[in-house]
Amino acid sequence: MSIDQELDASGLNCPLPILQAKKQLAKMEGGQTLRIIATDPGSVKDFDSFAKQTGHELLENGEEGGKFTFLIKKKG
How far is 3 from 70, CA to CA, in rounded Å? Answer: 11
Q: What's the pLDDT at 60?
A: 96
How far is 76 from 73, CA to CA, in rounded Å? Answer: 9
Which residue segments constitute the domains of the chain, with CATH numbers given?
1-10+32-76 (3.30.110.40)
For residue 1, pLDDT over 80 is answered with: no
Contacts of 19 (CB under 8 A, 6+ apart): none
Q: Is the peptide bond before 15 cis (omega within 30 degrees of 0)?
A: yes
Q: Which of 14, 28, 37, 58 is catalytic?
A: 14
Q: Is residue 61 within 8 Å of 70, Cβ to Cβ? A: yes
Q: Is 14 labeled as catalytic in the residue annotation?
A: yes
Predicted confidence (pLDDT) per residue in 5-55, tens digit:
999 999 999 999 999 999 999 999 999 999 999 999 999 999 999 999 999
